[in-house]
């Protein structure tokens, strides 16, 4: 036996590993190293990382500053605490009003025209108010000015009747309305968005790396490399090594891009949920990629063994691709508007749909722990069956070149 072959497929027990495991690991290492060194992989990873940064920064810039602020001048203050009353009125409607006293109406108008004031509020002799501005105030500021005028007028009336404005302010401060939702499940819009992104990442990863597995199988089959490899290792070892190597590549890239995306979103302020919630979402994302990839990559490998040309891959993997697409489409179309949807809930616990649907539901929140655990258990039960089924198809079809191998023939070994 030549030296290269001996180093690639060493004898059983070498370095403490049994021969089957060593063969699988050597194939996995070959797949991983070859693809990591490829220029295409490094370029696409770098581009994806840059796009994530750009998306996080762009989202922050487009969202803008939600704080609405306006400077407001007051003429002939009706009471001593008028400035505080105006500030409190703005706070009540989520607008920052910055009041200041001006000498007279003419001076206040000049300040508005010069841009030193956004609004000048003048009380008329009839008790009403007039607000002067150099431009349109906007709905938020206009509402805040109206609230401030009402509060000032109320305080003035109370003073005329012999009461104290401070008592009115205290009464109004205590008269806040506390809203209680009768809806048991409340969903944060930010978590809905993260759920959609998580589902998209899993969806793209499963399709992309599943296709890579199928293309790798066909490439080795069409070039006859598989015949040389199977002279020293068993078919299931070659298939398992290929799936493992590409899977390690996928989880590494997913962890890099996903972690980078979460970090970018947190640093730029695009993501504001707690670090513990983000960590939980990320862990579940990794878990479901691993489980989903294990299922689908095995099937993609088996499908790739049925054909001998890259052009024929699409025809054999389309049914599998459609299953992934259906799970994602149901999640992205149903969950954002109805996170508690019963149909999506059942599908998310079904092994073939769980990898795309369950991480979306977990990211949104409100999922009892037993549901993802049940989905994980079901998936773990399906994977060994797929190992046996895909291994049988791969073993019986991978050495048969030329025409497409029928699935029935591959299962029977004809």
Full domain range(s) for residue 112: 68-174
Evaluate whether residue 247 is within a structural domain.
yes
Q: Are residues 73 and 35 in the same domain?
A: no
CB neighbours of 36 closer than 8 A, spacing ≥ 6?
42, 249
114 and 261, same domain (yes or no): no
Q: What's the rounded Cα separation, in Å, for the pair 411 and 414?
A: 8
Choose one of 127, 145, 174: the last residue of a domain: 174
Residues 216 and 351 in one domain: yes
Q: Do 323 and 281 share a structural domain? A: yes
Report if residue 334 sits inside a domain: yes
| Judgement on whether residues 223 and 153 belong to the same structural domain of the protein | no
pTM of the predicted model, to two decimals?
A: 0.63
User: Is residue 173 predicted with pLDDT exceeding 60?
Assistant: no
- The answer to the question of residue 39 being in a domain is yes
pLDDT at 349 over 90: yes
Q: Which residues contact 340 (CB under 8 A, 6 or more apart)?
A: 185, 366
Does 292 share its domain with 384?
A: yes
74 forms bridges with which residues in the sheet? 101, 121
In a domain, 130, yes or no: yes
Side by side, which strands form the sheet with 68-75? 95-102, 68-75, 119-123, 129-132
Contact 13, 19 (CB under 8 A): yes
Q: What residue has token string 């960590």?
A: 279
What value does the mean pLDDT take over residues 390-412? 84
105 and 210 part of one domain: no
Classify 336 as helix, strand or coil: coil
Average pLDDT for 256-283: 72
Question: 164 with 50, same domain?
Answer: no
Range among 49-58, 69-78, 379-388 with highest mean pLDDT value: 379-388
Highest mean pLDDT among 161-170, 229-238, 311-320, 367-376: 367-376
Q: What is the mean pLDDT of residues 84-89?
A: 75
Q: Which helix (H) or strand (E) holds 131?
A: strand 129-132
For residues 78-85, give the mean pLDDT. 69
Query: Is there a domain that residue 13 lies in?
Result: no
Whether residue 220 lies inside any domain: the answer is yes
Domain boundary among 174, 196, 225: 174
- For the stretch 276-295, pLDDT in tens is 777 788 888 889 989 999 99
Lowest average pLDDT, out of 39-48, 267-276, 308-317, goes to 267-276
Among the residue ranges 53-62, 147-156, 364-373, 401-410, the one predicted with the least confidence is 53-62
């Amino acid at each position: 036996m030549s030296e290269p072959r001996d180093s690639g497929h060493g004898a059983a027990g070498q370095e403490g590993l049994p021969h089957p495991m060593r063969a699988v690991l050597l194939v996995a290492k070959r797949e991983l190293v070859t693809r990591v060194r490829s220029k295409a992989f490094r370029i696409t990873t770098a581009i994806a990382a840059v796009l994530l940064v750009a998306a996080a920064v762009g989202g922050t810039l487009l969202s803008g500053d939600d704080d609405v602020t306006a400077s407001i001048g007051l003429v002939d203050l009706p009471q001593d605490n008028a400035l505080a009353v105006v500030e409190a009125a703005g706070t009540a409607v989520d607008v920052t009003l910055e009041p200041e006293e001006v000498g007279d109406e003419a001076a206040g108008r000049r300040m508005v025209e010069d841009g030193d004031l956004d609004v000048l509020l003048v009380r008329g002799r009839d008790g009403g108010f007039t607000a002067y501005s150099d431009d349109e105030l906007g709905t938020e500021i206009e509402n805040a000015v109206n609230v401030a005028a009402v509060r000032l007028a109320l305080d003035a009336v109370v003073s005329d009747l012999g009461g104290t404005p401070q008592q009115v302010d205290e009464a109004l401060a205590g008269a806040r309305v506390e809203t209680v939702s009768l809806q048991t499940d409340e969903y944060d819009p930010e978590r809905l968005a993260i759920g959609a992104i998580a589902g998209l990442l899993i969806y793209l990863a499963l399709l992309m790396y599943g296709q890579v597995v199928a293309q790798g199988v066909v490439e080795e089959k069409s070039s006859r490399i598989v015949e040389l490899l199977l002279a020293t290792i068993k078919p299931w070892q070659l298939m398992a090594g290929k799936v493992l190597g590409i899977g390690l590549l996928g989880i590494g890239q997913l962890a890099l891009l996903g972690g980078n995306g979460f970090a970018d979103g947190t640093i730029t302020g695009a993501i504001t949920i707690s670090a513990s919630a983000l960590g939980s979402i990320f862990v579940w994302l990794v878990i479901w990629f691993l489980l989903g990839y294990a299922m689908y990559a095995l099937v993609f490998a088996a499908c790739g063994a049925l054909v001998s040309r890259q052009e024929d891959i699409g025809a054999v993997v389309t049914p599998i691709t459609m299953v992934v697409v259906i799970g994602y489409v149901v999640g992205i179309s149903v969950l954002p508007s109805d996170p508690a949807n019963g149909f999506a809930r059942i599908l998310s616990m079904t092994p073939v749909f769980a990898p795309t649907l369950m991480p979306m539901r977990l990211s949104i929140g409100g999922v009892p722990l037993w549901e993802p655990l049940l989905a994980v258990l079901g998936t773990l039960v399906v994977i060994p069956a797929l190992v046996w089924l895909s291994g049988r198809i791969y073993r019986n079809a991978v050495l048969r070149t030329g025409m497409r191998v029928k699935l029935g023939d591959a299962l029977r070994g004809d």
